[in-house]
Amino acid sequence: MVEATFVLNLVETVGILVGVAIAIMEIRKGREERGNQFSLEFVRYTSSQEFWEHWISFLSNSDFSTYEEWSEKYGPYSNPEAAKHWYTITWYYNTLGLRLLNGHIDLEDVVGYVEPYGLLLVWERSFPIFEKWKERYNNPKAFEGFEFLVNEIKKTYPNITLISNPQRQRLMQ
C-alpha cells in the first residue's frame, strides 16, 4: 500500500514537472516568435518610404543649436510637421535602444536595422533637445534607450566619426 501511494505521488510529481517544463518552453517559444515579429516589423519600417521621409525631413530641418531655437523653428507648436518627423525618428531609435537595453535584441540586430552613422548623426543633432527635455520635464531617463544605443555603438564601432557641422555645411552647399 505504501509503495502504491509512493508511486502515485511520484507519477503525480513527474506529471507536474513535465507540465511546468512544457509551459516554460511555450513561454520561451512565444517570446522568440514575438521577437521575430518585432524584428520583421522594424526591418519593414526602416525600408519604407515613410521612414526615410521622416529621416530626411528631420535632417533637412535641423538648422538649430539650442532647444529654444529648435522649439521656435521646428517644435510641435511652431511647426507640427517638422516636429512629427523629429518625434518619429527619435522615438524609433529610443525604442530600439530600450529593446537592446532590456536584452530583447542584440547590437548586431540593431546594426542590421539601421546605419550606425545615420543614428549617430540624429543623436548629435538632437542632443541639445534631449538635454533640455530632461531638465525641463525633470526626467533624467528621457531618451534612455537612444542614449544607451549610442553608447553601445560608440563602444563597439569606435572608428565611426561624424564630420563637424562646418564641414557638413560645406558639403551640403
Range of lowest pLDDT (144-148, 151-155, 159-163): 159-163
Q: Which residue has the higher pLDDT, 81 or 114?
A: 81
Do you know the residue count of the chain?
173
What mean pLDDT is predicted for residues 119-146? 93
**pLDDT of amino acid 72:** 94
* Mean pLDDT, the chain, integer: 80
pLDDT 10s digits, 52-85: 888 888 888 778 889 999 999 999 999 999 999 9
Count of alpha carbons within 13 angstroms of residue 159, beta-carbon side? 0
**pLDDT of amino acid 3:** 77
pLDDT 10s digits, 26-51: 766 666 665 556 666 766 776 788 88
Task: With H, G, I as helix, E, B as strand and everything else as coil, classify residue 104.
Answer: coil
Task: With H, G, I as helix, E, B as strand and everything else as coil, classify residue 11.
Answer: helix
Q: Is it the case that residue 129 has pLDDT exceeding 50?
A: yes
**pLDDT of amino acid 123:** 93
**pLDDT of amino acid 29:** 66
- Whether 149 contacts 97, CB under 8 Å: yes
Instruction: In whole angstroms, give the CA distance from residue 120 to residue 31.
Output: 30
What mean pLDDT is predicted for residues 139-154? 95
